[in-house]
Structure 1
Amino acid sequence: MIYDPARANPLFGNPLKTRDDLAKAVIDLFEPLLPYFSEGCARVRLGAAGAIFDRAAADLEGFARPLWGIVPLVAGGGAFPHWDLYRRGLANGTNPAHPEYWGDLADRNQRLVELAAVGFALALVPEHIWEPLDDREKKTVSSYLLRARELEFIDNNWKFFRVLIDLGLERVSVAFDHRKTLAYLDELEAFDLGEGWYRDGPVRRVDHYIPFAMHFYGLIYAVLARGDEARKDRFRGRAQTFAGDIRHWFGPDGAALAFGRSQTYRFAAGGFWGALAFAGVEALPWAEIKGYYMRHIRWWSAMPIADRDGVLSVGYGYPNLFMSESYNSPGSPYWALKFFLPLALPGDHPFWTAEEAPQPEFPEPVALKPAGMVAMHTPGNVVVLSSGQQHDKMLGANEKYSKFVYSTRYAFNIEADDRNFSAASFDGMLGLSDDGVHFRMRETLEEALIADDLLYSRWRPWSDVTVETWLLPENPWHIRIHRIATPRTLSTIEGGFAIERADFNADRSEHAEGRAIWYGQTDVSAIVDLSLHLRTGQAMSPIPNTNLIHAKTLLPQLRCEINPGSTLLVTAAMALPIHENWAKALENPPGRPNLDELERHSREKGVSVPAFALLM
């Protein structure tokens, strides 16, 4: 038989229309893990690839993360036939005398992360995972959790993990000092950026950790915590406001915006919509919330996201270690099961009884000021212009945070070879080289402003080269303007959107002075030069396995060499599904904007992007 990667997806064939469909999905996602439980049930090892933490912590990750789906399933009345595995595993993993002991705890250690799922289970379904334990086992488990909560957690969303451990201990009547819980909650609230947004710690970035971590855990706290009503109201209020913005990170087909780190958590991105339901926050009409939620899981059900045996792979649209982070172990993707939180609600909850509503139409650009983004809804897609975020401490950080544009339909590429300038893709990005081999792109910023739907940034690819970039929407196009000041000659490559490549060279390209176009089987992607001196168009195919969604892609580019002094590059780029009126769009590219007017507007109306304006 020929391997069919879609059929390996445990969600394949599930219509994912009803609460029962989602309950089935949890079991279908869990069952491929059964052969990998260790004899003592405390370890679940799903592969040979490593992470920055030790194997015992990685095995704990494989054990604990499925609980994020199992617990709400059972809390809502669903059946899970394997609780014996979790009871045995919990007792053995926390027992220093057992061969499958998870290991001693330490500050900022990965075990602290995974124990949050245990706390969540104790808080919601103690009758399944706690009460059947004998007194000795209960003492062993509680001692381990009590040691964990005394340690230092990383200064970001990790601080919620102590809170979740504490919710579990409180539910099973284990005494502890609540002052540390309250201190962490105060510190988490200090990450509030306003308008419903947080930052994930003292960093210049916001990403999917805001919906699937900061808001997700805050809403769980709002439901499960005793007292603390004012804080719980604040958590609900921020989530209600945030929903109006984060919906612009989801396309009409359910795809989420591929942006930032930890993309291998996949449908965890939709967990925010389920958390709203869990906390009873009707931030949008229930029908609209349910539409965003259900479309998202259906989008994933059609993707080849699992290995042959149905175990979720590290990757995004397909198995791909290249886009992963150093903290991704083979068990990491199971944080995706946070998506299933609303299964804890009864079937007659208005979230479940509502009929799905389609995504509303947004004909005008939408400014997401705290994030330094402008969203533009195009056919089958949401295009998000971005300036004001950065992360320079991981593989692919520039591509994950610093491109000019991101998309729900056309995911970004990660550069595969930083010593091969001519083969680099630079989709949604400007690449520069001073030797024709190595290259730089936008990484960290010196300034980031948002003025209505105009974005401005100033950045230095080298200490003696300055680039100023303006971004503005022109639906379905967007425009990029780069003013480059350099003391030496530089080579430049600028890319449009990467689209899927077909086999047998079935796609068609067009490239000439000032433009390049790919006519794919599913989409058309174009880039047009609006500069006074036209660059050379090139239609290239990036190195395989560099795009998050498609293993093979096509990409239009503009290339040129710039001389010492000041150079102005002006670019228009767009991509559309093949069934849309792309021909009309190609015939009517935008004109070159007046830079003096844009510069004046950005200076007079621009405000520093809150995500970037970090107060140290």
Structure 2
Amino acid sequence: MKVKFLSTLMLVCIALAVAGQKTKESTGAQDRVFWAKTLYRISYPVIHNLANGTLKKNMPIETPENHDSNREKVTYLEALGRTMAGVAPWLALPDDDTEEGKMRKQLRTELLKALTNSVDPANPDYINYRVEYQPIVDAAYVAHAFLRAPKALWEPLDEVTKKRFITEFKSLRDRSGAYNNWLLFAGLTEGFLMSIGEQYDPARIQFSLNKMKEWYVGDGWYSDGAKFSMDYYNSYVIHPMLVDLLGIMVKKGRASQTDYDSALKRMIRYAEYLERVIAPDGTYPAYGRSITYRTAAFQALAQVALMEKLPQWIQPTQVRAALTKVMHNMYDGNQNFDKDGWLVLGFNGHQPMIADTYTSTGSLYMATLGFLTLGLPADNVFWTGPPAPWTSVKAWGGTALKKDYKVEY
């Protein structure tokens, strides 16, 4: 009798727990509010301060103990480029009178002012492109943002500011960076110049494309240079920048549609991996270099969803549900922010011991890249459909899921 009572009680508890879980499920509209507020929270300190000429005054420069020298010369461009590359698709949406629309409009207005300040030599927040190697990297994120939202972020700039950006981008040609994913940074910046009809360096573009084709190792993965590294750089850099650079080249008649389609298929395949590594509880493996970039690990997945190119067996709503769970784990609390709202060194908390030597406060704003799918309007199925279980939820829940096999392209 006692055993029967305990069994019944346990079943009741489980039923209540399941019911509680169901009541806690958020709608797509609620998820979007959370995404928008979180992206605003992350990006606001960078954009607002740069718009007011106070970025260098107010942004802390936190570095690991064994950091590279001269981080203060490069960290501000890191903060700008990485932030704007993540917010660009969202800011490209038209204005509306919703709370989200008002946040978007404010950030877009301030970012345009920030961009003007950043290349004005008379402004206290004039940002360095001319010395050190790191600006090769972060100029590419600035260029990527312009490519992602040309009508919102590039075209509204005055002619003086546009010419200043073009001059700064061209100034990078007196340096060469690392012999790995850095080739794509130089290639993408030159690709942006090509896209606006400016003089560009075709060798830098072609060399980056040739090497990435050579460094493809199969099944959606590129080697980051001659030797393979197990990390998230395929998402931080390689797939999104390669696909978008080839997109420019195809439009200009400088690359084949076949090359673009192949690169896109590879990014879609890689995005499958990213969706699968999100555990049922919304955690994911903290492996490889640069894990302090946090949600940037999911840039490739977010971009594929933004492009509405997810494979048919991955529903947009399961990607939304998975990424929302990750973002709640990362950003619900204050563990990743200091008292003034700036990101701190770490993965999920203040963990400066895991920061790489090249990392400083500005580097961390790569985190915005995981939010690209906010560029889909609120009435898109990504946001309107009910949440769906993602792959690991199905696998660990004992329900049907697709087998996973390597691909040959």
TM over 0.5: yes
Q: Deviations over 1:489-514 (max 9, x none)?
A: xxxxxxxxxxxxxxxxxxxxxxxxxx
1:259 partner letter = Y
Contact 2:343 2:364 in 1 (8 A): yes
Which structure would you say has the larger Rg?
1
Alpha-carbon distance in structure 1 between the residues aligned to 2:322 and 2:394: 18
Q: 281, 302, 309: which is aligned to 2:332?
A: 302
Q: 1:245 to 1:301 in 2, by over 3 A?
A: same
Contact 1:212 1:271 survives alignment (8 Å): yes
Unaligned runs of 5+ in 1: 1-12, 365-376, 380-616
Give the Cα–Cα distance (whole angstroms) in 1 for the partners of residues 365 and 136 of structure 2: 16
Cα shift readout 1:308-350 (whole Å, capped 9, x = no counterpart): 2222111112112111111111122110000111222233444
User: Equivalent residue for 2:36?
Assistant: 23
Q: Is the 8 A contact 1:16 1:298 kept in 2?
A: no
Cα separation, 1, equivalents of 2:362 and 2:325: 25
Measured at CA, do residues 131 and 197 of structure 1 come closer, stay the same or move farther in structure 2, by a change above 3 Å? closer
8 Å Cα contact 1:32/1:311 also seen in 2: yes
Decide whether aligned partners of structure 1 residues 88 and 36 sit closer, same or farther in structure 2, where only a CA change above 3 A counts: closer
User: Which of 289, 301, 304 is the equivalent residue of 1:261?
Assistant: 289
Q: CA separation in 2, counterparts of 1:290 and 1:169? A: 34
Higher alpha-carbon deviation: 118-127 or 228-237: 118-127
3-state DSSP class of the match of 1:186?
A: helix
Q: In structure 1, what is the equivalent of residue 135 of structure 2?
A: 111
Aligned to 1:278: 306
Distance apart, 1:262 and its partner CA: 0.9
Instruction: Check if 1:319 corresponds to 2:350.
Output: yes
The DSSP-based 3-state class of the residue aligned with 1:66 is: helix
SS at structure 1 position matched to 2:199: coil
1:21 counterpart SS class: helix
Of the three residues 204, 211, 217, the one matched with 2:241 is 217
Are 1:231 and 2:259 matched, yes or no? yes
User: Using the alignment, how far apart are the partners of 2:346 and 2:292 within structure 1?
Assistant: 5
1:181 is aligned, of 198, 205, 211, to 205
What is the aligned partner in structure 1 of residue 78 from structure 2? 61
Match of 1:52 among 68, 83, 89: 68
What pairs up with 1:95-494 in 2 under 5 angstroms? Answer: 95=120, 100-103=125-128, 105=130, 109-148=133-172, 151-221=175-245, 226-227=250-251, 228=255, 229-283=257-311, 284-286=313-315, 287-303=317-333, 304-360=335-391
Cα 1:191–1:354 shift into 2, 3 Å: farther
Change in Cα spacing, 1:222 to 1:104, as seen in structure 2 (3 Å) is closer
Between the aligned partners of 1:274 and 1:281, the Cα distance in structure 2 is: 10
Cα 1:162/1:361, change in 2 over 3 Å: closer
| 1:259, distance to aligned residue in structure 2 (A) | 0.7
SS, match of residue 80 in structure 1: helix
Please give the residue correspondences for 1:593-612 in structure 2 after superposition, counting only pairs within 5 Å: none
More strand as a share of residues: 1
CA 1:313 to 1:60, structure 2 compared with 1: closer, same or farther past 3 Å? Answer: same
CA distance in structure 2 between the aligned counterparts of 1:313 and 1:232, rounded to whole angstroms: 37
Aligned mates of 1:130, 1:15 — CA distance in 2? 31
SS class of match (2:327): helix
Measured after TM superposition, the shift of residue 116 of structure 1 is 1.5
Q: Is the 8 A contact 2:306 2:375 kept in 1?
A: yes
Amino acid at match of 2:305: A
Amino acid at match of 1:194: G
Deviation at 1:257, TM superposition (A): 0.6
What is residue 115 of structure 2 aligned with on the other side? 90
Kindly provide the amino acid, as one letter, of the partner of residue 40 in structure 2: I
- Inter-CA distance 189–99: structure 2 relative to 1 (3 Å threshold): same
Check the 8 A contact 1:291/1:359 in 2, yes or no. yes
Task: Identify if the C-alpha distance between structure 1 residues 297 and 169 changes in structure 2 by more than 3 Å, giving closer, same or farther.
Answer: same
Aligned CA-pair RMSD: 3.2
Task: Indicate conservation of the 8 Å contact 2:232/2:297, yes or no.
Answer: yes
Residue identity over aligned pairs, in percent, reads 25
Which 4+ runs in 1 deviate beyond 6 A? 13-16
Alpha-carbon separation, structure 1, partners of 2:174 and 2:258:
25
User: What letter is aligned with 1:163?
Assistant: G
By how many angstroms is 1:265 displaced?
Answer: 0.8
**1:71 and 2:100 correspond:** no
Give the TM-score normalised by structure 1. Answer: 0.52
1:172 and 1:48 map into 2 onto residues whose CA distance is: 34
- Whether contact under 8 Å (1:122, 1:171) holds in the other structure is no
CA–CA distance in structure 1, aligned partners of residues 171 and 275 of structure 2: 39
**What do the CA deviations read for 1:279-333 (whole angstroms, capped 9, x no partner)?**
3322342233333322222221335211122221111121121111111111221
The structure with the greater share of residues assigned to helix is: 2
Classify 1:34/1:151 alpha carbon distance in 2 versus 1 (closer, same or farther; 3 Å). closer
**Is 1:91–1:141's contact at 8 Å kept on the other side of the alignment?**
no
Give, in whole Å, the separation in 1 of the partners of 2:342 and 2:124.
25
Whether the aligned pair in 1 keeps the contact of 2:80 and 2:142 (CA below 8 Å) is no
CA gap of 1:142–1:121, structure 2 versus 1, over 3 A, is same
Aligned residues: 354
Runs of 5+ consecutive residues of structure 2 not aligned to the other structure:
1-25, 95-100, 399-409
What's the counterpart of residue 607 of structure 1?
none
What's the CA shift string for 1:59-114, capped at 9, x where partnerless? 2222332212321111133523144544444344435566544335357x111111
Report the alpha carbon displacement of residue 24 of structure 1 after superposing the two structures with TM. 2.7
The Cα offsets for residues 330-375 of structure 1, whole Å up to 9 and x where unpaired, read as 12211000011122223344433443321335999xxxxxxxxxxx
